[in-house]
């Protein structure tokens, strides 16, 4: 069992098909980059992982570092912003294919973030899942700098109901694809949580990235039209870094 994690108990907000997303994402997120690579995307440091001294609250996979805001009613997400790494991306709904694998955003849409439409909507009670490409044959993807996020950074999701769900990062972890902790990542929760996932780790020409970066975050504020009227204490985000250079292709 990994430090800082206790299995979640049964929850009424659990989506059964979510249990299959571990294999689905690992298969669907494999990238097809064959050109020369001159720069690697940032990887999370050990300091951003869950601390063994911080235990999650009951029935939750996230840490109790930040207080949770009240859950929002379901509403489709339309845009995702991560100020610390300069992400401001439209969102697209993702579905499962005939094998039960999650279809990732098209490589023709490298700037889009996807969300699992049959699961929890971001800001609602439970564990919402978002994903996107780290890079494509044509250059960096929407989550190229996801591994540079730190605890306390902010993730904002604008929704179709004109409300903004504001999440605070609890941890950023890197997992080998052969040892992906599906229950920890996709497990049920009695509070509104978010997972942001992309490829990470070492890259092999034949098989692509060998791991996945997973960002764990908890809803800490919610407001109308971008405001944070219903707000818990949130640490300010770090200034965005300069845009990364595009790898040679």
Average pLDDT, the chain: 75
pTM: 0.76
Which of 31-35, 139-143, 208-212 is predicted least confidently? 31-35
Tens digit of each residue's pLDDT (9 = 90 or more) over 131-140? 999 988 888 9
CATH for 16-34+42-231 (3.40.630.20, 3.30.365.10, 1.25.40.90, 2.40.260.10): 2.40.260.10
Q: Read out DSSP for 14-50?
A: --GGGGGHHHHHHHHT-----S----PPP---GGGSP
Tens digit of each residue's pLDDT (9 = 90 or more) over 170-219? 999 999 888 888 889 888 888 999 999 998 878 877 778 888 999 999 99
Closest CA to 80 of 112, 108, 128: 112
Residue 201: left if φ>0, alpha if ψ -120 to 50, beta else—which one?
left
């Amino acid at each position: 069992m990994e430090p800082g994690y206790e299995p979640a108990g049964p929850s009424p907000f659990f989506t059964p098909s979510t249990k299959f997303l571990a294999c689905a994402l690992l298969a669907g997120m494999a990238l097809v980059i064959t050109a020369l690579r001159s720069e690697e995307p940032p990887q999370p440091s050990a300091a951003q992982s869950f601390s063994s001294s911080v235990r999650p609250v009951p029935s939750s996979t996230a840490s109790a570092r930040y207080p949770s805001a009240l859950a929002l009613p379901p509403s489709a997400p339309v845009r995702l912003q991560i100020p610390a790494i300069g992400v401001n991306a439209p969102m697209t709904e993702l579905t499962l294919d005939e094998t039960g694998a999650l279809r990732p955003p098209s490589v023709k849409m490298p700037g889009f973030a996807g969300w699992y439409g049959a699961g929890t909507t971001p800001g609602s009670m439970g564990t919402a899942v978002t994903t996107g490409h780290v890079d494509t044959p044509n250059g960096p993807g929407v989550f190229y700098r996801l591994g540079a996020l730190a605890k306390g950074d902010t993730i904002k999701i604008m929704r179709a109901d004109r409300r903004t769900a504001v999440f605070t990062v609890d941890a950023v972890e890197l997992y080998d694809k052969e040892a992906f902790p599906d229950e920890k990542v996709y497990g049920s929760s009695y509070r509104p949580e978010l997972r942001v996932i992309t490829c990470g780790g070492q890259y092999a020409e034949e098989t692509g990235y060998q791991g996945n970066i997973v960002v764990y975050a908890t809803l800490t504020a919610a407001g109308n039209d971008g405001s944070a009227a219903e707000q818990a204490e949130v640490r300010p985000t770090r200034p965005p870094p300069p845009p990364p250079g595009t790898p040679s292709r």
